[in-house]
Structure 1
Amino acid sequence: MESEPHGCPTPVLFLIHRRPQLTARSFAAIRQARPEHLLVAADGPEDDALCQETRRLVKEGIDWPCNVQTRFSAARLGCRNAVSQALDWAFAEHERVIVLEDDCLPEPSFFCFCTELLAHYQDEKRVMQICGSNLSGHAAQDGSSYYSSRFATIWGWASWRRAWKQYDVTLQRWMEQGSNARLEAACKFQGEAAWRKELYDGAATGAIDTWDIAWEFAQQNCNGICLIPSVNLVSNLGWGLGATHTHDVHDARACMKTSPIDFPLRHPCHLATYDQADRSYFNHYCRRPALLIRLGRKIVRLLRRMMR
């Protein structure tokens, strides 16, 4: 089971900017899924040649029957404002939304996976996000098709209007907390509270230009969880010089292989978080490594570049 027989029934939000080659690859996967509702949001400026080319290839590539909605910005809004405003728009229009950015290439079964879990957990308020990426390398221990996590990945994901209502790009609730006691109580791993505080402070003050830290906070603040597939369903291709945040092409997360997920999905008996997988993810990608480890990784990257 790799695609919906009559097209994906869940609305798909496609976030684009000025990378036509990457956009073409991701859009080809969307065309294969044939969503019944397609929302396309693009940052500006609208007079930029690459922005124009990227918008054109998407508009001209819609060759299946679907309801198309566009939100093309005339000016350059930046990562934080462009994406958060696009998501506000999409969830105002639809109760459930699948979200893909221009550099995220989904495996075909990703769309069915999201659609089924969006229906299955519609009324389970603790579940706030369906993820397409599995960056921990772990599969559910009980043989289920997915597991619960406290760490949200946003390279191909889906959610509900009920969950997105908890989102505030300004992180006002974080600024109003006044102490770290609640944060420390919610964190399980050494260094996690300090890591989250640094991120939340940076996003709240505008020092970090991104939208997703506020989404991570919204889930943590609500004691929410996300669901991670037991196989990786989305590959992020946008690593290198043209990327906003993902610059290191040698990062283990760059261009990860994907695998189809088996249907029918095997649902777990409970939603307890898989702490071993979360710890692996946190230690590999979140926790700041010791100085010697950082220097070693830098030397390896430099040697790889010299050998190219």
Structure 2
Amino acid sequence: MSLAPIVLFAYKRPDELQQTLAALQANYLAARSDLYVFVDGPKHVSDQPKVDAVRRIVDNIGGFHTIHRHYADSNRGLATSIIEGVSQVMAQHGRAIVLEDDLVTTRNFLDYMNQALWQYKARPEVFSISGYTFPFQRPVGYDTDAYFYPRTGSWGWASWADRWQGVDWKISDYNEFLADKNRCEPFDFYGSDRLQMLRRWRTGEIDSWAIRWCYAQAKANGMTIYPTLSKVENIGFSVESTNTHGYNRFRTVLDMTESRTFSLPEEIVYSPYYGQKLRRKFSLPVRAANRVLTNILFIQRWLALKNH
């Protein structure tokens, strides 16, 4: 089985990038995998030292079959960087495993992603593969290592060119979609944050490629496969993060086993058990509680700095 290329996006977080790379280099399949690294340019003059530090790290990467480095001269922004970078690699290889510089992977992450890419490549109803999952208790009698849910995951994910290249990144039917209750309600059903994020992207409040990817999957009635035991952890909840900060409600339990082959579902169907769990995680009450905890954390940090 040929291995999918890894696409890694970095910006100005050298410490997090070091952790991401160390974990990725420790993967069983790292030495056989091609790595493409895209580093964005500085948005402000004050960002230059950290961007330079990231580039020095990337200059010295080893441990992969081949390494392809791409350094932007100016700041392109997260969404543009990912859309164009992934499109470039997809056009060349037909599939890709995608990471950002704040994701720590398990040693079997690449095994899991490549197996899923191979198993579902001819199943267009499988839109993407997620390496991350919340730490849900696996139910008694559940005999596979993954489950399906109709929402994309953007923390360590993979997909195929035929799914990716069909995305309308401008969302030309946005107004038509908003006016159609029969489309909006199912979109919000699988995550009460999604419609709000789509509106915020449209108004320019957030620079998100992920919500448009999510929308494309919903439009195609596609599924994402998630592992029952997470292969990815996000360590990017800091002031340097583009879209994550504050209280981390996404802490998970990583797969620390030595498993390198997985029992993946043959039937592509929605899992009621895991679906209920995920819908609750993205429900309004849970998200509201998260905002309260984030505000408390911000105040605590502010007081600590003030009293220092």
Q: Distance in 1 between matches of 2:33 and 2:288?
A: 52
Matches for 1:235-246 after TM superposition, within 5 Å: 235-246=233-244
- Structure 2: state its 5+ residue gaps: none
Are 1:171 and 2:171 matched, yes or no?
yes
Are 1:29 and 2:23 matched, yes or no?
yes
Runs of 4+ with >6 A deviation: none
- Aligned counterpart, 1:231: 229
Which residue among 30, 36, 39 is the counterpart of 1:39?
Answer: 36
- Shifted more, 83-92 versus 93-102: the winner is 83-92
Residues 252-297 of structure 1, C-alpha deviation per residue, up to 9 Å, x if partnerless? 214x33114634311224211113323322322x332289857864
Asked if structure 1 preserves the Cα contact closer than 8 Å seen for 2:111 and 2:260, the reply is no
Q: What TM-score do the two structures reach when normalised by structure 2? A: 0.84
Q: Distance in 2 between matches of 1:142 and 1:292?
A: 31
Which residue among 244, 247, 251 is the counterpart of 2:245?
Answer: 247
Offset at 1:42?
A: 1.1
Which residue among 262, 287, 301 is the counterpart of 2:283?
Answer: 287
Q: Distance in 2 between matches of 1:72 and 1:291?
A: 36
- Aligned counterpart, 2:155: 155
Are 1:20 and 2:14 matched, yes or no?
yes
Asked if structure 1 preserves the Cα contact closer than 8 Å seen for 2:13 and 2:54, the reply is yes
- Aligned counterpart, 2:102: 103
- Shifted more, 140-149 versus 41-50: the winner is 41-50
Q: Distance in 2 between matches of 1:178 and 1:241?
A: 33
- Structure 1: state its 5+ residue gaps: none
Asked if structure 2 preserves the Cα contact closer than 8 Å seen for 1:136 and 1:278, the reply is no
Matches for 1:120-159 after TM superposition, within 5 Å: 120-135=119-134, 137-139=136-138, 142-159=142-159
The secondary structure found in structure 2 opposite 1:258 is coil
Residues 33-60 of structure 1, C-alpha deviation per residue, up to 9 Å, x if partnerless? 2243111111103981211221221221
Change (3 A) 1:260 1:183: farther
- Aligned counterpart, 2:219: 221
Residues 74-102 of structure 1, C-alpha deviation per residue, up to 9 Å, x if partnerless? 11111222222212222122111111111
- Aligned counterpart, 1:87: 86
- Aligned counterpart, 2:115: 116
- Shifted more, 159-168 versus 13-22: the winner is 159-168
- Aligned counterpart, 2:194: 196
- Aligned counterpart, 1:72: 71
Change (3 A) 1:177 1:79: same
Q: Which amino acid aligns with 1:79?
A: L
- Shifted more, 85-94 versus 200-209: the winner is 200-209
Q: Distance in 2 between matches of 1:211 and 1:188?
A: 18
Q: Which amino acid aligns with 1:36?
A: S
Offset at 1:143?
A: 1.6
Query: What RMSD over aligned residues (CA atoms) do the two structures have, in Å?
Result: 3.0
- Shifted more, 88-97 versus 26-35: the winner is 26-35
Q: Which amino acid aligns with 2:150?
A: R
Change (3 A) 1:268 1:16: same
Change (3 A) 1:304 1:135: farther
Using the aligned pairs only, state the percent identity.
21
Count of aligned pairs between the two proteins:
296
Asked if structure 1 preserves the Cα contact closer than 8 Å seen for 2:58 and 2:69, the reply is no
Asked if structure 2 preserves the Cα contact closer than 8 Å seen for 1:104 and 1:156, the reply is yes
Asked if structure 1 preserves the Cα contact closer than 8 Å seen for 2:4 and 2:93, the reply is no
Matches for 1:176-191 after TM superposition, within 5 Å: 176-177=176-177, 179-184=179-184, 186-187=186-187, 189=189
Offset at 1:124?
A: 0.1
Q: Distance in 2 between matches of 1:201 and 1:166?
A: 21
Change (3 A) 1:63 1:133: closer
Offset at 1:115?
A: 0.4
Q: Which amino acid aligns with 2:4?
A: T
- Aligned counterpart, 1:56: 56
